[in-house]
Structure formats: structure tokens, C-alpha cells
Structure 1
């Protein structure tokens, strides 16, 4: 399983090359090789918004190799995501906007950019929607939680957009490829943690077992940078750890990847 690269990040590359730092935050946690000092990232109001309230999101039937059933399944998951996060933002007194979803069996471009070969889905911040690729590989096994997790991850990027974190990330300066890679990993791992938060909040309604969750984590451990010779998402075990952390906490407070030591985002 490979969670996708965020196309909206590439939209912001010009900002990354020329951007300047925002307001200075308190000293970051010890061990941060490239400390992040923008309070929009490190002290966002989202972290103080409390736990996501438990809600219902029963899974629809998902048939193997069926694009039609996958569209219905994912549309249903998106409805849950919009409802759950919308209620959470309202309770916290935060501005909210829904995300949209589209599908493609062989997408070539999205959000103005070429589709990544290893991408199962992409989120577009400027359009506030994400596209899921419904090819044979994606639809091969309807029994696992892969598609559910893909939608929840992309919605994590949507949460970053509507809370101002995407913009802060796009504008944040860096010096060199390694620092940029770590910033990407912090961004992607936060989206993964937020996916876990949502999945934890609806878990009791999914009619799933602990073994199902463990299997998803095992799949995730094989989706990391080491499998794709990259350095922008984190190693598989790191991705799985942040997904599980969000799941266990069911709170965005667990997902502040911007202040943890560099060793937690490798």
C-alpha cells in the first residue's frame, strides 16, 4: 500500500523556494534536526480541539474489481468524513469546509500536474477535492481497509488545508534536499495520523476486528519510503506508528508532527 504524494504540495514549490519564516514558536523538542518555528504548524488550534466524537460510519458493500461499488463505497466514506470533522470543527468554534471526491481508472494529470506512478490518490488543495485511482490493483481485495484508509488520509490533507497548515507548509523555507524531505515527511505523517483519528472515532460502527486493524498496519509497514527509494513520506514502520497513534488517541492533539524529534519522522 502506498499512500499518495500530495499534488497541492507541488503547487506550492515556488513558495518553498522563496518563502520566509512565520512567527517564531517556542523552542522545538530536543532532537529536531530542522526545527519548525511557524505557530500555524506547531501550535495550531486544531491540537486543542479535543477528541473526535464517536460516530457511525458503517461500510457499504465493496465488490472486487467493481468500479461502481468502489465509487459508492468511497462516496459513503466521504459523507462520514465531512459529517464527523464538520461537527468537530463546529464544536471547537473553527471554520469548516467540506471536501469533494472524484475518481479515475487511469488518471494522467490532476490539479494541473502529472499523476505519480505510485499514487493511489491525490488531494488538490486549491480545489478542495481528491481523486482516487480505481485500477485493478486498487480494487483487487475488497476485504481489507485499504480504500477506507486512503480516503481518510486524503481527508487529513484537507484538514491541513482548512486549518491553514497547508499554506504554512507551502511557504516554509528550507535549505537543501534533506531539510525539505523532513518537512514533507512531517506533513505526510500528520495526514496519516489524522486518518487514524477519524478511523478510531468510527471504529465501533465498522463491524471490524482487531485483526483487521493489525492487517492494515502490516500493509502500511510495506508502503514506506524504503519501498520506493524516496524520502518524503517516512519509512513504513513510521507511517504505521503515526496511523496507530491517531487511532488510539482519536484526537488531533496526537498529530503534532511538527514538534517531535527528527527520529520520529524518518
Structure 2
């Protein structure tokens, strides 16, 4: 999954590839290590099933996105709580057309397979046909 930073994140789900774990035990830069996430330890590994999805199947697309969100919530929620950081589950909204200027974006439309996360209302919005 790639996340492109803007006023809100544009998330494109791609077939997962396993990344090699990074050993952060030898990082000594305090700019990187003096924070609650680093002090909470490594993010625990998570295994989530990738649901099948066929092009132009809005029911499968919705189930797929719901499963990705559930997996992220089950991983990050407990970790953020362990770090003593605020945590609130994301809301998911399905729309037929992305509202004009949604989340500060100058883009408008109904692109399938895009999920826009807006941090000020903690909502992931996705277009579906």
C-alpha cells in the first residue's frame, strides 16, 4: 500500500510485497529515537488475509477496503495506545463522487480504487461506482 502525502492522503492499494524488517536497535540519532513510538518498541508483525477482488465489482471493493482498514486498526490501535498516544478508529465513508475540494484537494471525480484520508475529520472516503 502506498500513501501519497497531501492535505489528505491518497491511498492506492497494490498487491502486498513483504519488506525486510529494519533493525532499529542501532539507531542513535535522538531526533529519531526520542519519541513515544520508538520507546514503545517495534510495531508487532501482522498477518492479514488479502481478499480477492475483481475489477468493477463494487461489493468486493468495499469488502477489500473494509478489511484493509480493519487490519490497520488492529495493528496500529493497540500500538498507539501502548505508546500512550491518542487513538481513535478511522471512519469510512463510501460515496459515488468525491466532493469538490474534499480535504483541501483540487481534484474532483469518482475514481474507483482510491481512498482519501482526511486527518481533520478522521474519515477515509472512497469513491465507488
- Distance in 1 (alpha carbons) for counterparts of 2:73 and 2:106: 27
Q: Across the two proteins, how many residue pairs are aligned to each other?
A: 106
1:2-25 Cα shifts (integer Å, max 9, x gaps): 85453359xxxxxxxxxxxxxxxx
- Within-5 A mapping of 1:61-76: 61-76=52-67
RMSD: 3.5
- Distance in 1 (alpha carbons) for counterparts of 2:93 and 2:38: 29
Q: C-alpha displacement at 1:52, in angstroms? A: 1.6
- Within-5 A mapping of 1:172-191: none
User: Which residue of the other structure, out of 93, 105, 111, is the alignment partner of 2:103?
Assistant: 111
- Give the match for residue 127 of structure 1: 121
- Distance in 2 (alpha carbons) for counterparts of 1:73 and 1:88: 23
User: Which residue of the other structure, out of 34, 45, 50, is the alignment partner of 2:36?
Assistant: 45
- Distance in 1 (alpha carbons) for counterparts of 2:114 and 2:104: 17
- Within-5 A mapping of 1:156-195: none
Structure richer in strand, relative to its length: 2
Asked if the contact 2:33/2:39 (under 8 Å) is kept, the reply is no
- Distance in 1 (alpha carbons) for counterparts of 2:127 and 2:2: 12
The yes-or-no answer on 1:94 pairing with 2:85 is yes
- Distance in 2 (alpha carbons) for counterparts of 1:105 and 1:2: 23
5+ long unaligned stretches in structure 2: 10-28
Q: Scaled by the length of structure 2, what TM-score is found? A: 0.60
Asked if the contact 2:7/2:118 (under 8 Å) is kept, the reply is yes
Asked if the contact 1:108/1:114 (under 8 Å) is kept, the reply is no
Q: C-alpha displacement at 1:72, in angstroms? A: 0.9
Asked if the contact 1:104/1:131 (under 8 Å) is kept, the reply is yes
- Within-5 A mapping of 1:206-221: none
Asked if the contact 1:4/1:120 (under 8 Å) is kept, the reply is no
The yes-or-no answer on 1:7 pairing with 2:7 is yes
5+ long unaligned stretches in structure 1: 10-28, 30-38, 136-266
Q: C-alpha displacement at 1:44, in angstroms? A: 3.4
The yes-or-no answer on 1:85 pairing with 2:76 is yes
- Distance in 2 (alpha carbons) for counterparts of 1:44 and 1:133: 36
Structure richer in helix, relative to its length: 1
Asked if the contact 1:62/1:69 (under 8 Å) is kept, the reply is yes
